[in-house]
Structure 1
Amino acid sequence: MELKGKLIIITGGCQGLGLAMARDLAGRGANLALLDLDQAKLDQAVTRLTTQGVQVRAYLCNVANETQVIDTVTRIAEDFGPIHGLVNNAGILRDGMLLKVKDGQISTMSLAQWQSVIDVNLTGVFLCTREVAAKMVEQQSQGAIVNISSISRAGNIGQTNYAASKAGVVAATVTWARELARFGIRVAAVAPGFIETEMTASMKPEALEKMTSAIPLKRMGKPEEIARSVAFILENDYFSGRVLEVDGAMRI
Structure 2
Amino acid sequence: MKIDSNLVVFITGASSGFGFQVGLDLLKSNCKCYLTDKDDIDQNIINQYPRSQVVFRNLDVTDEEGIKNSIEDCVKTFGHLDAVLNSAGIAPLESIIDKNFSNKMIDLCLNINVIGTFNVSKYAALQMAQQQSQNKERRDYAIINVGSIASVNALDRGSIYGASKGAVLSMTLPMARDLGKYGIRVVCMCPGFFNTKMVQQLPEQKLKYLAKLTCLGRHGEPSEFSSAFQAIIENTFINGTHFYLDSSMATPHL
Q: TM-score, normalised by structure 2?
A: 0.90
* Contact 2:9-2:84 within 8 A present in 1 as well: yes
Q: Deviations over 1:159-188 (max 9, x none)?
A: 111111111111111111111000001110
* Contact 2:30-2:53 within 8 A present in 1 as well: no
Cα distance in 2, alignment partners of residues 42 and 35 from structure 1 = 12
Q: CA deviation at 1:217?
A: 1.6
Q: CA deviation at 1:228?
A: 0.7
Partner residue, 2:231: 232
Say which of 126, 131, 137 aligns to 1:139: 131
Partner residue, 1:104: none
Cα distance in 1, alignment partners of residues 250 and 173 from structure 2 = 19
Tell me if 1:165 matches 2:157: no
**Amino acid of the residue matched to residue 119 of structure 1?**
N
Partner residue, 2:68: 70
Q: CA deviation at 1:73?
A: 0.9
Tell me if 1:6 matches 2:7: yes
Tell me if 1:96 matches 2:94: yes
Q: CA deviation at 1:211?
A: 1.6
RMSD: 1.8
Tell me if 1:119 matches 2:111: yes
Cα distance in 1, alignment partners of residues 45 and 125 from structure 2 = 25
Cα distance in 2, alignment partners of residues 189 and 180 from structure 1 = 15
Q: What does 1:204-243 align with in structure 2 at a 5 Å threshold?
A: 204-243=203-242
Partner residue, 1:38: 39
Q: CA deviation at 1:42?
A: 5.2
Partner residue, 1:192: 191
Q: Any idea what SS the aligned residue of 1:32 has?
A: strand
Q: What does 1:101-112 align with in structure 2 at a 5 Å threshold?
A: 107=99, 109-112=101-104
Give the fraction of aligned pairs with identical amino acids, expressed as a percent.
26
**Amino acid of the residue matched to residue 130 of structure 2?**
E
Unaligned stretches of 5+ residues in structure 1: 101-106
Q: TM-score, normalised by structure 1?
A: 0.91
Q: CA deviation at 1:67?
A: 1.1
Q: CA deviation at 1:8?
A: 0.5
User: How many equivalent residue pairs?
Assistant: 243
Unaligned stretches of 5+ residues in structure 2: 133-138
Cα distance in 1, alignment partners of residues 176 and 60 from structure 2 = 25
